[in-house]
């Protein structure tokens, strides 16, 4: 027996259409038509006039894809057959019955309640905007010529899809013609986990602003490293428009790998030569000069110590890192010169190296100045005298601070919501499932809350979407202040939030919900039209013994949320 569809799920699926909706939309000044299996079934009077028809019979029965010009016909057919769902409006050309065209902004809404492959199509005439754009065609042509001759991949995207790709981009992605990419989701050109990040949270990439290291995928399935920069553009419709630039850095990465290999080779040479110097006790002036030159040529910080851990010397990169002279640290130990945490790890590595356990490697946090710390990888090995006895330890260091920062940033993008800074939907669901499993194993209480902003559409319509975003952020801030660190808070989408209260029974949860309700009602947001105040409705659901997943709890909490709204809003209801 299938699970019932929750109100939240019905809301997220978009508008619903009754049998008489075409009569209602007859007053619309935009083209509105009903399509089934891609064919026009009904069309309003404004649509008949926009297509240059005398009556509806001239349009009904036609394939809607034949009314679309340009490269979008195939994509339109997939959307009309509900093979793909595009939430945002996008620009296309509509073909008059007499063969002429006009520019329009198109949006397709699934209407499965009317039929299995039914869709409602709306189109807004944007020819005037197109005329204004053509007056700047000369400048655009010059810009396009520059883009086409760019050494790097350049994309122009509308919503989640590619609208333009330059010749370099086609070549870099292993294609033969721009038509292989125009119209496809922009996430398809990314490889591995990056594709999922872009597909699930494209605004996060747009908000980055700077250059981000990622991996792209060619048509043959192979992947390559690239630096990506996404730049938002002024949008002509509801869907965001943006430019994506990508630079293939495979060659640079190979060069870095070659440099690291050279460093390893130099390190081996240094070790070998250091053995010889230990045997000769630095008696040959020529040998000493050679080794000093060799050590100075190594680009990474390098040092050597005696068996008691005292510095015997170090190269120029080491001196530059610590801002010291050639003799400042000679005869001193690591514990005397750097932070205690790094010194302790380094001392253990020295012991292992002297015990002849081979090359020792470790990562650590090194403080090189009062307000400057680095993440580093250190390699150490023993050097020996003529009789093979250990004489000391040689170390080489690599700065990995930037790599650590990029790894942390990628983890942040994958788990947090850009607007509010709290967990995004995917990470919230993962954390909530873990809490349900833990509560079931140990028989502990747990409560789920669903809440959203009452009359949120009214706020957006009255004060604008920027004020709506401020309201969403304010609600998230209130939730963050009230819930505990061990609780799980996430934004499920739009103005809808969910909270999992761990180790909390129903009475405790109702107290928290009431505090949230009162705190939200006290929020005041200044706007040009005046002070904005709003309330929240909250649904509460306690974990039952029959609950095996978080989904069942959230479903009951969502139904309770709608019960609170039906009873007047600004209330807490239990499901």
Task: Tell the residue number behind the tokens 């945002």, with chain if given.
Answer: 88
Average pLDDT (521-529) is: 95
In angstroms, rounded to a whole number, what is the distance separating the alpha carbons of residues 132 and 421?
39
Q: Calculate mean pLDDT across residues 68-81.
A: 80
pLDDT, residue 284, reads 43
Q: How far apart are CA 431 and CA 487, in angstroms?
A: 10
Encode pLDDT of 173-185 as tens digits.
999 999 999 999 9
Highest mean pLDDT among 33-42, 129-138, 141-150, 498-507: 498-507
Reading the block at residue 27, the tokens are 């007053």
* pLDDT over threshold 80, residue 289: no
Residues ≥6 apart with Cβ < 8 Å to 398: 300, 376, 377, 378, 379
| Neighbouring residues of 256: CB distance < 8 A, sequence distance ≥ 6 | none
Domains of the chain, with CATH numbers? 7-131 (3.30.450.20), 137-248 (3.30.450.20), 253-403 (3.30.450.20), 417-574 (3.30.70.270)
Average pLDDT over residues 261-290: 65
Whether 28 and 44 have beta carbons less than 8 Å apart is answered as: yes
Cα 513 from Cα 290, distance rounded (Å): 74
Which residues partner with 390 through β-bridges?
384
Structure tokens at 260: 């690291």
* Separation of CA 522 from chain center: 33
Q: How far is CA 78 from the centre of its chain?
A: 27
Q: Is the pLDDT of residue 238 over 70?
A: no
Look at residue 501 and tell me whether its pLDDT is greater than 50. yes
Beta bridge partners of 69: 93
Question: Distance between CA 557 and CA 330 in Å, rounded?
Answer: 68
Quick one: CA torsion of 408, 413, 415, 416, rounded to 10 degrees? 110
d(CA 172, CA 166): 10
| pLDDT at 444 (0 to 100) | 96
202: pLDDT strictly greater than 90: no
Residues 6+ away with beta carbon under 8 Å from 185? 160, 161, 162, 199
Please identify which residue in the block is written with the tokens 């993962």. Answer: 430
Number of H helices, E strands in the chain: 20, 23
- Dist. CA 71–CA 462, nearest whole Å: 38
Local structure of 353: helix, strand or coil: helix
Q: How far, rounded to the nearest angstrom, does the alpha carbon of residue 512 sit from its chain's CA centroid?
A: 31
CA 172 to chain centre: 23
Q: How far is CA 457 from the centre of its chain?
A: 26
- How confident is the model over 428-479, as pLDDT tens digits? 999 999 999 999 999 999 999 999 999 999 999 999 999 999 999 999 999 9
């Amino acid at each position: 027996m299938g699970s019932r569809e929750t109100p939240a799920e019905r809301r997220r699926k978009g508008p619903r259409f009754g049998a008489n909706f075409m009569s209602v939309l007859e007053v619309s000044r935009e083209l509105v038509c009903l399509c089934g299996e891609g064919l026009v079934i009904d069309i309003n009077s404004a649509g008949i006039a926009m297509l240059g028809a005398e009556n509806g019979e001239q349009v009904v029965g036609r394939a809607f894809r034949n009314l679309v010009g340009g490269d979008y016909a195939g994509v339109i057919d997939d959307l009309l057959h509900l093979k793909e769902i595009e939430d945002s409006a996008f620009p296309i050309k509509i073909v008059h019955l007499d063969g002429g065209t006009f520019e329009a902004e198109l949006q397709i809404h699934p209407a499965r309640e009317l039929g299995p492959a039914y869709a409602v199509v709306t189109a807004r005439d944007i020819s005037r905007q197109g005329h204004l754009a053509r007056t700047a065609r000369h400048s655009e042509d010059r810009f396009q010529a520059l883009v086409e001759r760019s050494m790097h991949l350049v994309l122009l995207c509308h919503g989640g899809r590619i609208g333009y790709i330059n010749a370099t981009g086609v070549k870099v992605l292993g294609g033969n013609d721009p038509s292989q990419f125009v119209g496809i989701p922009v996430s398809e050109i990314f490889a591995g986990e990056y594709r999922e990040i872009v597909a699930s949270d494209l605004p996060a990439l747009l908000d980055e602003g700077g250059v981000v290291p990622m991996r792209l995928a060619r048509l043959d399935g192979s992947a390559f490293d690239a630096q990506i920069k996404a730049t938002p553009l002024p949008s002509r419709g509801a869907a965001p428009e943006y430019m994506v630039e990508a630079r293939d850095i495979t060659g640079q990465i190979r060069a870095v790998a070659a440099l690291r290999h050279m460093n390893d080779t130099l390190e081996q040479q240094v070790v070998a030569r250091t053995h010889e110097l230990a045997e000769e006790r630095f008696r040959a002036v020529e040998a000493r000069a050679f080794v000093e030159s060799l050590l100075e040529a190594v680009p990474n910080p390098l040092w050597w110590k005696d068996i008691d851990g005292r510095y015997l010397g170090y190269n120029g990169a080491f001196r530059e890192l610590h801002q010291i002279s050639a003799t400042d640290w000679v005869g001193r130990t690591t514990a005397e010169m750097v932070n205690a945490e790094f010194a302790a790890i380094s001392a253990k590595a020295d012991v292992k190296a002297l015990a002849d356990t081979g090359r020792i490697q470790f990562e650590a946090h090194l403080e090189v100045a009062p307000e400057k710390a680095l993440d580093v990888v250190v390699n150490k090995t023993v050097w020996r005298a003529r009789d093979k006895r250990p004489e000391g330890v040689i170390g080489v260091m690599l700065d990995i601070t930037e790599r650590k920062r990029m790894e942390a940033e990628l983890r942040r993008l994958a788990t947090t919501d850009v607007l509010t800074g709290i967990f995004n939907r995917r990470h919230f669901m993962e954390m909530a499932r873990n809490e349900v499993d833990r509560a079931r194993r140990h028989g502990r209480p747990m409560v789920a809350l669903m809440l959203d902003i009452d009359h949120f559409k009214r706020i957006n319509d009255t004060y604008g979407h920027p004020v709506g975003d401020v309201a969403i952020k304010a609600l998230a801030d209130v939730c963050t202040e009230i819930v505990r660190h061990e609780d799980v808070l996430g934004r499920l989408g739009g103005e809808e939030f969910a909270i999992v209260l761990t180790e909390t029974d129903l009475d405790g949860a109702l107290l928290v919900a009431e505090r949230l309700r009162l705190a939200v009602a006290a929020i005041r947001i200044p706007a040009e039209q005046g002070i904005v105040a709003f309330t929240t409705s909250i649904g509460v659901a306690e974990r039952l013994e029959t609950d095996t997943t978080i989904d069942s709890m959230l479903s009951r909490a969502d139904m309770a949320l709608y019960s609170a709204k039906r009873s007047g809003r600004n209330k807490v209801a239990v499901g």
